[in-house]
């Protein structure tokens, strides 16, 4: 199974660390591997909203469907960030 996600305003190293906290093993800033899953991270074009310029990070998850169904909700909780 493959799942692609795009995030704005969260630095790539922070997303990388969240994946490691979920049991992944880092093979460098751009890849994290866990039991039954892997995630590849890469920078996209910055998102611009008026004078605001936000980082864009793409995350491509691959792995066993059952494992991703358990992993992604836990990852999504970490990606919820309060503003202000």
pLDDT band, residue 83 (cuts 50/70/90): low
Question: pTM score, two decimals?
Answer: 0.89
Q: What number of CA atoms fall less than 13 Å from residue 7's CA on the CB side?
A: 19
Is 59 exposed, middle or buried, given 0-12, 13-18 or 19+ CB atoms closer than 10 A? buried
16-72 pLDDT, tens per residue?
A: 999 999 999 999 768 999 999 999 999 999 989 899 999 999 999 999 999 999 999
Assigned domain for 19 exists: yes
- Does residue 23 sit within a domain? yes
Asked if residues 2 and 62 have their Cβ atoms less than 8 Å apart, the reply is: yes
Q: Judge whether 84 lies within some domain.
A: no
Of 20, 64, 7, give the one whose Cα is nearest residue 28: 20
DSSP letter at 30? Answer: T
Query: How many domains does the chain divide into?
Result: 1
CATH at residue 17: 3.30.1370.80
- Name the residue range of residue 53's domain: 2-79
């Amino acid at each position: 199974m493959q799942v692609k996600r795009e995030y704005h305003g969260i630095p790539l190293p922070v997303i990388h660390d969240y994946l490691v906290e979920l049991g992944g093993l880092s093979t460098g800033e751009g890849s994290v591997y866990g039991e039954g899953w892997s995630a590849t991270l890469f920078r996209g074009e910055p998102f611009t909203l008026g004078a605001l310029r936000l980082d864009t990070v793409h995350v491509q998850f691959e792995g066993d469907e059952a494992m991703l169904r358990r992993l992604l909700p836990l990852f999504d909780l970490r990606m919820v960030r309060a503003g202000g």
